[in-house]
Amino acid sequence: MTIKVGLASDHRGVHIKARLLQTLQREGFEVCDQGTDSTDPVDYPDFAIRVAEQIRDGKLDRGILICGTGIGMAIVANKFHGVRAASCYDEVIVEMSRRHNDVNVLCLPGDLIGERPVDELVLMWLRTDFECGRHTQRVDKITAIDSIDTPDINRGV
Ligand SMILES: O=C(CO)[C@H](O)[C@H](O)COP(=O)(O)O
């Protein structure tokens, strides 16, 4: 089954996004490019929302969001039910985000990733499976938080 990937960035991630779009299409992923398309300044929430909504609604399997640090994109995306977003930029963290946390939205720091092999990093993230096992109950507890209005940390959801 083809994996559907949503891709979006703000002005600080637009060049990496363009590069990833080509790489992911070449590798056979179905990619949905949600902008932005120029280096004109934009507000990252407007673009994170486009991808996060589609993850929440089951229209996309994974998302990749790029801003200067990846942090703003992750904050916005994590507001959406079913989204587990993290800002990552090295191989170990990227791999663990999949294996232990089942992260479904990878947020990349466009300003910091520099000459790192971003294509390889993203392909590895897309191809790394969640380990399940003991991590399943933990991720289930995160999912349970989605269904309550006011999380109560003492209640042990
Ligand atoms: O990293 C970001 C959010 O986490 C943004 O890319 C960054 O804040 C944009 O800043 P500027 O308006 O100075 O280009």
Structural domain tally of the chain? 1
pLDDT, residue 154, reads 58
67 tagged catalytic: yes
Tell me if 151 is assigned to some domain. Answer: no
pLDDT digits over 78-119, tens only?
Answer: 999 999 999 998 999 999 999 999 999 999 999 998 766 899
CATH (domain of 127) = 3.40.1400.10
Tell me if 126 is assigned to some domain. Answer: yes
The Å distance, Cα 90 to ligand 1 centre, comes to 20
Please name every residue paired with 105 in a beta bridge, in sequence order, or none if there are none: 63, 85
The Å distance, Cα 24 to ligand 1 centre, comes to 25
Q: Which one of 100, 107, 132, 135 is the catalytic residue?
A: 100
Q: Could you tell me the pTM of the whole model?
A: 0.94
Tell me if 106 is assigned to some domain. Answer: yes
Domain that holds residue 28: 4-146
The protein residue with its alpha carbon nearest to ligand 1, atom 5, reads: 68
Tell me if 154 is assigned to some domain. Answer: no
For residue 113, count other CB atoms closer than 10 A to its CB.
18
pLDDT at 133 over 70: yes
81 tagged catalytic: no
Among 76, 75, 70, 136, smallest CA distance to 101 is for 136
